[in-house]
Each structure stands twice: as structure tokens, then as C-alpha cells.
Amino acid sequence: SGERTKEVNYSSPDRGTRVQVFGRVHRERKQAQVLFVTLCDGGGYLQCVLTGQLTKTFDALTLTRESSIMLKGEMWEVPLNAHASDNRELHVDYFEVIGKAPGGDDAITYKVQAKGDPQTLLDQRHLVLRGETAAAVMFVQDAVEHAFNVKYHELGYVKVSPPALVQTQVEGGSTLFDVPYYAEKAYLTQSSQLYLETAIPFAGNVYCIEKSFRAEKSLTRRHLSEYTHIEAELDFITFDDLLNHLEDMICSVLSITLSIPRIAAKIQDLNKDFQMPERPFTPMRYSEAIDWLREHGIGKEEGEPYTFGDNIAEAAERKLTDIIDRPIFLTHFPHEIKSFYMPKEKADPRVTESMDCLMPSVGEIMGGSMRIDNYEELMDAYKRHEMPPEPYYWYTDQRRYGTSPYGGYGFGLERFLAWLCKQHSVRDTCLYPRYMGRCRP
Ligand code: 4AD
Ligand code: MG
């Protein structure tokens, strides 16, 4: 159990250490003369054993799940078993209830019973989070975010914090959230990319971990209205450098995450089949993916076969990743279906120097590209995308004041976790999901 376990008084050499612990009743099981309490203190779960008179007190007889309690007793080393998950067991000789949780119809077990209705679980998300699966995902989320920070700092990247309130779009106007901003109009940012790019000249390679916002009209298992976006920009690179960096980044983040035994155990519980991805990741050009879909008879939603220029739908993309069943770098998307800032490939100007990383069962978890580094080309891109250049003057200045070949990318943390923790939906990999129709709790 965690930091709140205090060693007190004395050590008994034959049995164990005398301790006082605080936490909440995660589970209780009553046997003839014994009451087992699984205590959760945030640091983990601790099996506590109450015997004799202690099991007959009013507090013991009316003990409810999620009540907060204090216990004193001796900590024993025990063989690993399903209830004592860390070889320890507390033999209790004193306990107090601090905050009693309701029982009966209001008991937490009834509150979080879905009865086949996922909306109930979402309404009770604050209680669902006390469950082992939801909590494990949150622990992994913390570890993955930490691993990104560790790896970026190892590489000498500087972390900055771009604004969430902006007056420009990044990924198309259709998913912008408007916000009244004093007498002006503003949006919640779709991506920190453009601002991150402006940090390159003073900071070199840069990254940020911020929220991005998308007014997605689609209710899918991988779209949120607010998500955690891990973005980076790399200066003076080529497209191949970017791909190599990304593969290394993903594998390093996974190794750092798995090097924490407690987290590795949680990933193992959540995702029994998890294996480190094999390198190199499978490279596949967009045009090859279109051929692959045609060969496998996977068509568009309306049933027609895919042709060059089509956006590959989520379902088709998932079939591709599930059948190939390993990480894929899907590259060189046509410029018509991609963002304004993506440069054309020299060899085939129909396509851009862009890439998505696709993972089995989830599909796209990351999107990136080189950035147009030429002033005229950028002005053309604004025109093609019907974007008035004025609000972007600060972005355009990047091309005027010492331009350079560079590129970057963004990971959706919730999607990364859906893959790593084998969760069906990104709604299960964030603390409180936001999507069309849900903004509570
Ligand atoms: O592919 P996207 O839209 O690319 C960008 O935003 C670039 N500006 C990033 C960059 O180059 N700095 O989004 C990047 C990633 C996606 O691959 C996906 O993982 C995640 O962000 N993402 C979402 N995650 C959850 N809900 C949504 N609605 C998401 N939209 C994108
Ligand atoms: Mg994308």
C-alpha cells in the first residue's frame, strides 16, 4: 500500500511491523469469524484481516464499501494470493470509521451497475473511477505522459505551453468551438501545432502536452471533443528523419512506461496480449493502402470500392490495422484531403509528406507531416483552403524570418491508451470524457 502507511511504535521480529493505515473500503468479505477488508489508499490495495470481537462491533457489522477508515495492526508477510496482491496483509487490532459511505440503494455497487446502459456509467463516472479497471487506466495514463516528458527531456527538447484560446484554425473550420472573447471572437484550439512551430527559432526542438478541442459531430469510439494532445516540432529534418524519430519515440515511451513494475503489472492486467511492437513499423503509402483495400474487397460505407483521393473511413482503416496486426506508418496522403500546412512530395506532387501511425484495434493514434517551408507555397495553400491570411500573419512570419525544413506530429493520448490498455473506447481512457451530448460530470 502507499505513502499513507505509517510505521508506528515497534517492530515485532516474529510477525511484522506495527502500522497505522488510512484508506477506503474497496471490498469486504465476511467469513464465519473473520472480516476481510480490501483497503484502497490510492497507492494500491491492502488486505486487512479483522478477527474475534472486532468483527462483532457495530462499525464492523455495518461497514460499507467506500467508507473511509483508519486501522491499526501488524503487517505480516504472506504468500502472494488473489487478495494480498503485494505479499502483505494487515492483522487489525483496532479500527475507526472516518466517513461512512451509504449502503442499500445508494451503495456504490448499485450506483455503478449499468443495467446494460452505458449512459448510467458515464453519469456515475466519478464513482466508476473508483473501480479497479478505470483506476488502472488512469495510472497508466500518468505513466505514459511521464514517459513522454522523460524521453523528450533526454533528447533535449523544450516544453512550452501554447494558448488554448486562439483566433486561427489548424485542422479545418468545421470542428471549431466558438468562444465569446470580450468584444472579439475566439476558438478553443484544435491543435497547438502552429504556436509550437513559432517556438522553434528560440528553443530548437520543442514539444507540448496540452488539451485540443474538436467540435466533432461524430459519435465514435475514438472521437472526443476535448483530448490530451502530445505534440512536437523538429527543426532541420527530412521526412525520413521524422519517421525514424517517431518509431524511436513510441518504443522508448513504451519501454520507460513498462520499466515501472507497478505499471507493467497494470498493463498486463488490462491487456494480456500486449507485446512490444516489432521494429521497423510497416511503412505503407496511402496509394498502397487504397490498393490493399481494393484487393481485400473492403469498400466505402456506400459499398463502392476505394479510389485514389478518397478519405479512408474509420471502419476501413480499422480492418486494415486489424488484418495487418502491427503498427503501420501510413504516409503520403493526397493534398486535397490533408491540412493546409503540408508540403507536396517532390517525386509525386499529388501527395504530401504526411504520415499517420496506425495501431491494431484503434487505427490512427498519431498524425504528422513536414511543414511547408516556402513563403509562396504557403500563400497558395491559404488560398486553396479559402483561409484569409491576415489572422495567420505570425505563422507566415516563420517563412519570412529564417525558414527551415522542419516537421512535427501530434499523438492523441486517449487513443494511445486505448491501444496500450486494450480499451474499447477513448471514453474509457480519460478522466471525464467530453463528446457531443456529454459535458458532465
Ligand atoms: O490528425 P490530427 O488532426 O493532426 C493534428 O492536429 C496536427 N496538427 C498534429 C500535429 O502535427 N502537431 O490529430 C492528431 C492526433 C490524431 O492522430 C489522434 O490521435 C488525435 O490527435 N485526435 C483525437 N483524439 C480524440 N478525439 C478527437 N476528436 C481527435 N482528433 C484527433
Ligand atoms: Mg489525423
CA dist., res. 108 & res. 105, Å (int): 9
pLDDT band at 32 (very low <50, low <70, confident <90, very high): confident
Q: In this predicted structure, what is the pLDDT of residue 331?
A: 98
Q: In this predicted structure, what is the pLDDT of residue 6?
A: 54
Question: How far is the centre of ligand 2, averaged over its atoms, from the C-alpha of 402 (Å)?
Answer: 28
- Phi, psi dihedral angles at 203 (to 5 degrees): -115, -10
Q: In this predicted structure, what is the pLDDT of residue 15?
A: 63
Ligand nearest to the CA of 234: 1
What does the buried/exposed string (b/e) look like for 255-278 if buried means 16 or more CB atoms within 10 Å of the residue's CB? ebbbebeebeebbeebbeebeebe
CA dist., res. 310 & res. 290, Å (int): 9
Q: In this predicted structure, what is the pLDDT of residue 82?
A: 64
The CATH architecture to which 128-428 belongs is 2-Layer Sandwich (3.30)
CB 227, CB 190: distance < 8 Å = no
Ligand nearest to the CA of 427: 1
CA dist., res. 228 & res. 430, Å (int): 9
Q: In this predicted structure, what is the pLDDT of residue 2?
A: 46
Out of 229, 339, 358, mutate this one to test ligand 1's pocket (max ligand atoms within 8 Å of CB): namely 229
Residue 5 has pLDDT above 50, yes or no: yes
Ligand nearest to the CA of 242: 1
More reliable by pLDDT, 333 or 303 = 333
Question: How far is the centre of ligand 2, averaged over its atoms, from the C-alpha of 366 (Å)?
Answer: 7
Which atom of ligand 1 approaches the CA of 409 most closely?
11
Which atom of ligand 1 approaches the CA of 214 most closely?
28
Residue 402 has pLDDT above 70, yes or no: yes
189: nearest Cα among 177, 200, 197: 177
Q: Which amino acid is at 196?
A: L
Q: In this predicted structure, what is the pLDDT of residue 84?
A: 65
Out of 169, 192, 214, 414, mutate this one to test ligand 1's pocket (max ligand atoms within 8 Å of CB): namely 214
381 grid coordinates: 495553400
CB 368, CB 355: distance < 8 Å = yes
> What single-letter DSSP state applies at residue 281?
P
Residues 108-167 pLDDT 10s = 988 887 667 889 999 999 999 999 999 999 999 999 999 999 999 999 999 999 999 999
Q: In this predicted structure, what is the pLDDT of residue 105?
A: 87
Q: In this predicted structure, what is the pLDDT of residue 113?
A: 78
Q: In this predicted structure, what is the pLDDT of residue 218?
A: 86
Residues 41-52 pLDDT 10s = 887 899 999 999
Q: In this predicted structure, what is the pLDDT of residue 9?
A: 42
Residue 326 has pLDDT above 90, yes or no: yes
CB 352, CB 338: distance < 8 Å = yes
Out of 191, 233, 362, 438, mutate this one to test ligand 1's pocket (max ligand atoms within 8 Å of CB): namely 191
pLDDT band at 4 (very low <50, low <70, confident <90, very high): low
Question: How far is the centre of ligand 1, averaged over its atoms, from the C-alpha of 366 (Å)?
Answer: 6
Question: How far is the centre of ligand 1, averaged over its atoms, from the C-alpha of 271 (Å)?
Answer: 24
Q: Which residues of the chain does CATH 2.40.50.140 include?
A: 6-106
CB 123, CB 115: distance < 8 Å = no
More reliable by pLDDT, 10 or 155 = 155
- What's the predicted TM-score (pTM) here? 0.94
Q: In this predicted structure, what is the pLDDT of residue 101?
A: 97
The residue whose C-alpha atom lies closest to atom 3 belonging to ligand 1 is 171
CA dist., res. 82 & res. 330, Å (int): 43
Summary count for the chain: helices (H), strands (E): 14, 17
Q: In this predicted structure, what is the pLDDT of residue 302?
A: 86
Question: How far is the centre of ligand 1, averaged over its atoms, from the C-alpha of 412 (Å)?
Answer: 6
CB 77, CB 96: distance < 8 Å = no
203: nearest Cα among 174, 232, 228: 232
328 grid coordinates: 503501420
CB 23, CB 68: distance < 8 Å = yes
Q: Which amino acid is at 289?
A: A
Side by side, the strands of the sheet bearing 177-181 are 165-166, 184-188, 177-181
Mean pLDDT computed over 186-207: 98
Question: How far is the centre of ligand 1, averaged over its atoms, from the C-alpha of 410 (Å)?
Answer: 6
404 grid coordinates: 527551415
Question: How far is the centre of ligand 2, averaged over its atoms, from the C-alpha of 412 (Å)?
Answer: 10
340: nearest Cα among 164, 172, 190: 172
Q: Which amino acid is at 39?
A: L
Question: How far is the centre of ligand 2, averaged over its atoms, from the C-alpha of 7 (Å)?
Answer: 51
More reliable by pLDDT, 301 or 368 = 368
Ligand nearest to the CA of 411: 1
* CATH 2.40.50.140 given to domain 6-106: yes
Q: In this predicted structure, what is the pLDDT of residue 401?
A: 97
321 grid coordinates: 490495422
Q: Which residues contact 155 (CB under 8 A, 6 or more apart)?
A: 205
Q: What is the mean pLDDT of the chain?
A: 93
Out of 222, 233, 358, 428, mutate this one to test ligand 1's pocket (max ligand atoms within 8 Å of CB): namely 222
Provide the 3-class DSSP secondary structure of residue 110. helix
Out of 213, 221, 227, mutate this one to test ligand 1's pocket (max ligand atoms within 8 Å of CB): namely 227
Q: In this predicted structure, what is the pLDDT of residue 303?
A: 87
Q: Which residues of the chain does CATH 3.30.930.10 include?
A: 128-428
Residues 67-124 pLDDT 10s = 999 999 999 888 776 666 677 899 999 999 999 999 988 899 888 876 678 899 999 9
Residues 341-359 pLDDT 10s = 999 999 999 999 999 999 9
What is the CB < 6 Å shell around ligand 1? Answer: 170-171, 191, 193, 214, 216, 223-224, 227, 229, 231, 364-368, 408-412, 414-415, 426
Which atom of ligand 1 approaches the CA of 196 most closely?
12
Residue 13 has pLDDT above 70, yes or no: no
The residue whose C-alpha atom lies closest to atom 1 belonging to ligand 1 is 367
Q: In this predicted structure, what is the pLDDT of residue 111?
A: 83
CA angle 253, 331, 296 (to 5 degrees): 105
